Amino acid sequence: MHIPDGFLSAPAWGGLWAVSAPSVVAATRRAQRDLDESKVPMMGVLGAFVFAAQMVNFPLGAGTSGHLLGATLLAAALGPAPAIVVMTAILSLQALIFQDGGLLALGANLFNMAVAGTLAGYWPWRAFAGGRFARFGLFAGGFCSVAVCALLCLAELAISGVHFGPAAMSLALGVFLVNAVLEGLITVAVAASLEAIRPGWLKAPAGAGRPVLWLLLGLAAVLASAGFFVASTHPDGLEHLARVTGLASQERLFFKAPLADYEIALPVSVWIRKAVAGLSGLLLTAAACIALARWIGRWRSA
């Protein structure tokens, strides 16, 4: 999932640098504020551990093997902000030493894997930490972390004009799904072994235990990435949806009437349709999450 240089268009890599650089700086500030000095060697040495652990092959049978990515494990051990800093250091070193991902594309890779991937891995774990379902939280964390990275990576490639046919798309999504499940399984297995060595390595942070809220945040992250992705690959996603759901005949009533004047004055370009589809996808996701949260809240209080 490390994007090399030469794939992303200039607005894509420039824009993603503009997002990820301040995020990493903010994470650094936060990590510095929250941590005492002894944590600097801890962050560095655990970073070396994750780097090395990514090279351990996990046999899956039939001659194939997978490996850990480690963002969830790191976030569970150190907390989210230090984990973002450590993942940033690891990804930068990988780009320099192995050319795993380009230097210009590093902004995009940092956003996908260090920032979004780490947070998406942390929230589900935090939601269930310390409770009976802590292991499920770790699995969900590993899964969400890789799923969010992969969807963002695909979306960025699609925005930059790398086209996927339907067959290639389903293949890529299948591979990423398997990887996400695998990351969840490996994270749980490693955490179980750690508990056997010395309980209490992966401590629940104070104030943890509002599973619903954090789970919804994680879900929102996954759905938002998916929506972003769908919106960018199907520029006329809304029209497609309308056709599929049989709204096409009533389309004029719903979509065209309020915009009729504008349509004559201003031919809607592909870009605007993309933007509208993307934004409405995000809004729909947010609305669905809020509705779900309300419903769950009512259900719990009842």
Nearer to another protein, 9 or 280 (CB): 9
**Could you say whether residue 299 binds another protein (CB under 8 A)?**
no
Least distance from another protein to the Cβ atom of residue 253, Å: 37
Give phi and psi for 241, each to the nearest 5.
Answer: -60, -45
Residue pair 233/158 in contact by the 8 Å Cβ criterion? yes
215-274: contacts with another protein (CB under 8 A): none
Nearer to another protein, 51 or 133 (CB): 51
Least distance from another protein to the Cβ atom of residue 137, Å: 17
Report residue 48 as tokens: 């070396």
User: Looking up tokens 């072994």, which residue turns up?
Assistant: 193
Nearer to another protein, 136 or 288 (CB): 136
Per CB under 8 A, the list member of 34, 64, 192, 275 interacting with another protein is 192
Q: What angle do CA 91, 182, 131 make, to 5 degrees?
A: 95
87-146: contacts with another protein (CB under 8 A): 88-90, 92-93, 95-99, 102-104
> What distance in Å separates the CA atoms of residue 53 and residue 90, rounded to the nearest whole number?
12
Beta strands in the chain (DSSP E): 58-61, 64-66
Nearer to another protein, 148 or 186 (CB): 186
User: C-alpha 188: how far from its chain's center?
Assistant: 19
197-216: contacts with another protein (CB under 8 A): 197-198, 201
Report residue 92 as tokens: 């930068």
Site map (CB under 8 A) of another protein, residues 8-27, x = contact: --x--x----------xx--
Least distance from another protein to the Cβ atom of residue 31, Å: 6
SS3 string, 82-117, reads HHHHHHHHHHHHHHHHHCCCCCCCHHHHHHHHHHHH
> What distance in Å separates the CA atoms of residue 271 and residue 236, rounded to the nearest whole number?
10
Nearer to another protein, 47 or 281 (CB): 47
Which among 137, 101, 95, 100 has a CA at the least distance from the CA of 120?
137
User: Looking up tokens 């004055």, which residue turns up?
Assistant: 265
The interface region with another protein, picked from 133-141, 182-190, 203-211, 281-289 by CB under 8 A, is 182-190
Least distance from another protein to the Cβ atom of residue 125, Å: 16
Least distance from another protein to the Cβ atom of residue 237, Å: 21
Least distance from another protein to the Cβ atom of residue 56, Å: 5
33-72: contacts with another protein (CB under 8 A): 37-38, 40-49, 51-53, 55-60, 68
* Contacts of residue 212, Cβ cutoff 8 Å, sequence gap at least 6: 127, 293, 296, 297, 300
Residue pair 247/240 in contact by the 8 Å Cβ criterion? no
Q: What angle do CA 77, 80, 81 make, to 5 degrees?
A: 120
Nearer to another protein, 92 or 280 (CB): 92
Give phi and psi for 103, each to the nearest 5.
Answer: -75, -40
Question: By the criterion CB under 8 A, which residues form the site for another protein?
Answer: 2-7, 10, 13, 24-25, 28-29, 31-32, 37-38, 40-49, 51-53, 55-60, 68, 73, 77, 85-86, 88-90, 92-93, 95-99, 102-104, 157, 162-165, 168, 186, 189-194, 196-198, 201
